[in-house]
């Protein structure tokens, strides 16, 4: 079933929204004394990035290059992330979100490997989960679980069919939500785990709204635009850190 439609928002537009939410979050963290409201709004960013990672995994022609790109920007972003978060050049208390996304990508791939090497895949997944907690990846194991949950809950129409058989739905969700995407199910379930990190994470459920409007289209394909989204992460963190030093 083709999920592409003429209406809705593209992958590039979703990335832009996620970047806006992330910027708002980090301004609240770095410049506004950890402003609670701004940080709460910023919770919408990661579920969108997680969803886009899943879409990238499904459509990439070279998963190896995709992983290398994520891991490279994880390394590039670490110093700006540490500076913005703690004011230290290197701080092992927490690692940036690119590490989480790269780890999530590997776990998705290992799910495919499990078809011919189940034991190896399970061991690999366990190791990644342990490492994500031991090295304090942003969102840690919860973030990786969210990525996996989004992948499997949007893989087919299984959840939709269950609801239909139970007579709980007869048409489409409001606001143009597509049942076959099942994003409400994915994110609401993941938020239950996120609550272990504090009530602020509950706001992540609002990411359902922009994600549900995704039309399956990538948008304008341009390498400059593509890498602009990657560069934005370390660049905005470094700029915010410098601003904090200039203002504070």
DSSP string, 77-130: HHHHHHHHHHS-SS-TT-B-HHHHHHHHHHHHHHHHHTTT-HHHHHHHHHHHHH
Q: Is the dihedral of CA 155, 206, 199, 81 positive or negative?
A: positive
Of 13-22, 38-47, 159-168, the one with minimum mean pLDDT is 159-168
Say whether pLDDT at 179 is over 80: no
Dump pLDDT digits (tens) for 111-138: 988 888 889 899 999 999 999 999 999 9
Say whether pLDDT at 177 is over 50: no
pLDDT at residue 8 in the model: 85
Integer Cα distance of 48 and 54 in angstroms: 10
Q: Which residues are CB-neighbours of 198 under 8 A, at least 6 positions away? A: none
**Global pTM value:** 0.84
Q: Is the dihedral of CA 218, 222, 227, 232 positive or negative?
A: negative
Integer Cα distance of 77 and 233 in angstroms: 7
Q: Is the dihedral of CA 232, 238, 242, 244 positive or negative?
A: positive
Q: What percent of the chain has pLDDT over 90?
A: 52
**Cβ atoms < 10 Å from Cβ of 105:** 23
pLDDT at residue 114 in the model: 81
Dump pLDDT digits (tens) for 49-66: 999 999 999 999 999 999
Tokens representing residue 105 in the block: 């990508």
Say whether pLDDT at 17 is over 70: yes
Indicate the pLDDT class of residue 166, thresholds 50, 70 and 90: very low
Integer Cα distance of 215 and 178 in angstroms: 9
Cα→Cα distances 135→66, 68, 92, 94, 103, Å: 22, 19, 7, 7, 12
Say whether pLDDT at 161 is over 50: no
Across the strands, what pairs with 9?
Answer: 214
pLDDT at residue 167 in the model: 42
Q: What is the mean pLDDT of residues 228-248?
A: 93
pLDDT at residue 175 in the model: 39
């Amino acid at each position: 079933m083709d999920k592409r439609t003429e209406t809705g928002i593209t992958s590039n537009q979703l990335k832009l929204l996620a970047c806006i939410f992330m910027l708002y979050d980090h301004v609240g963290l770095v410049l506004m004394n950890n402003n609670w409201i701004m940080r709460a709004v910023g919770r919408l960013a990661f579920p969108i990035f997680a969803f886009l990672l899943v879409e990238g995994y499904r459509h990439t022609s070279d998963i190896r290059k995709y992983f290398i790109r994520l891991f490279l920007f994880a390394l590039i972003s670490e110093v700006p992330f540490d500076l913005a978060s703690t004011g230290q050049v290197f701080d092992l208390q927490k690692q940036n979100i690119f590490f989480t996304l790269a780890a999530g990508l590997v776990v998705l791939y290992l799910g495919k490997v499990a078809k011919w090497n189940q034991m190896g895949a399970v061991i690999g997944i366990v190791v990644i989960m342990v490492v994500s907690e031991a090295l304090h990846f942003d969102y840690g194991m919860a973030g990786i679980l969210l990525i996996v949950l989004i992948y499997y809950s949007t893989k087919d129409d299984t959840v939709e069919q269950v609801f239909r058989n139970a007579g709980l739905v007869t048409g489409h969700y409001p606001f143009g939500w597509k049942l076959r995407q099942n994003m409400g199910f994915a994110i609401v379930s993941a938020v239950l785990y996120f609550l272990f990190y504090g009530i602020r994470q509950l706001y992540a459920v609002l990411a359902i709204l922009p994600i549900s409007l995704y039309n399956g289209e990538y948008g304008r394909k341009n390498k400059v635009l593509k890498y602009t989204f990657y560069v934005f992460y370390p660049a905005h963190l470094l700029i915010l850190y410098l601003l904090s030093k200039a203002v504070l």
